[in-house]
Amino acid sequence: MKLSVVVLISGRGSNLKSVLEAAQLPDSRFQIVGVISNVPGAGGLDHAKAHDVPAFVIDHKAFSDRAAFEAALASKINQLAPGLICLAGFMRILSGDFVRAWRDRLINIHPSLLPSFKGLNTHARVLDAGVRFTGCTVHFVRPETDDGPIIIQAAVPVYADDSEATIAVRVLAEEHRILPLA
Ligand code: GRF
């Protein structure tokens, strides 16, 4: 039986697109059973629709606090009953309680070689630090942000004339390759 996966997004959803496409390959071991965005109008919702995957918006701004938002999120996820939740550019911090409830069934993709460069604006900090390699990581989620057992990583070179934008293109191509593998 295929592993059923719910993907959580907040934005353009290029990683979502890569897993939707990989799920359609004949030997795929997973299927995407739903996509949830916390941002109305997120570009990734169109990718879900194009693949006939149910897509839902749960706007965090419509809730009084994080607990209420997460209760709605959990309720929708439980309806979809996935074996795995995949965070693919999901830009809300999830509470320790939520993360513990899905321990080892909740993965995230991060655009750096963890444990280096946790948090936001990774490519700018990579340039500032002068490192010669960066990359991306898929990991199991733990309560501490961008922490948890590493599943797969890919490294890319950083060149002297790189900008944030050129690094982002190089890293993103690897994100799209490793997320379906994870
Ligand atoms: C990716 O760089 C991912 O690693 C990070 O957010 C970005 C999402 O991009 N967590 P997309 O929405 O998948 O195009």
14-38 pLDDT, tens digit each = 999 999 999 999 999 999 999 999 9
* For the CA of 168, the nearest atom of ligand 1: 2
For the CA atoms of 67, 68, 72, 74, the dihedral, rounded to the nearest 10 degrees, stands at: 10
Residue 62's pLDDT band, with cuts at 50, 70 and 90, is very high
Backbone angles phi, psi at 39, to 5 degrees: -120, 115
How far are the Cα atoms of 17, 66, 76, 88 from residue 34, in angstroms, in the given order? 13, 22, 9, 13
Could you tell me how many residues make up the chain? 182
Catalytic, out of 47, 110, 123, 139: 110
Give exposure, 71-97, as e/b (b: 16+ Cβ within 10 Å): ebbeeebeebebebbbbbbbebebeee
Residue 11 Cβ contacting ligand 1 at under 6 Å: yes
For the chain, the average pLDDT equals 98
Q: Indicate which residue's Cα is closest to atom 1 of ligand 1.
A: 89
How far, in Å, CA of 2 to CA of 118, rounded?
A: 32
Q: What is the pLDDT of residue 114?
A: 98
What percent of the chain clears pLDDT 70, i.e. is strictly above it? 100
Residue 62 tokens read as 């419509």
Q: Is the CB of 146 under 6 A from ligand 1?
A: no
Q: Please return the burial class of 42, using the count of CB atoms within 10 Å of its CB with bins 0-12, 13-18 and 19+.
A: buried
The pLDDT assigned to 136 comes to 98
DSSP state letters, 8-28: EESS--HHHHHHHHHHTSTT-
Ligand 1 binding pocket mutation candidate from 8, 19, 109, 118 (most atoms within 8 A of CB): 109
Q: Which residue has the CA at smallest separation from atom 8 of ligand 1?
A: 89
- 111 pocket-lining for ligand 1 (C-beta < 6 Å): yes
pLDDT digits (tens, 9 = 90+) for 142-170: 999 999 999 999 999 999 999 999 999 99
pLDDT single digits (tens) 95-129: 999 999 999 999 999 999 999 999 999 999 999 99
The three-class DSSP label of residue 98 is: helix
Nearest ligand 1 atom, CA 10: 12
> Which residue of 36, 47, 175, 179 sits with most ligand 1 atoms within 8 Å of its CB, as the best mutation to test the pocket?
175
Active site residue 176: no
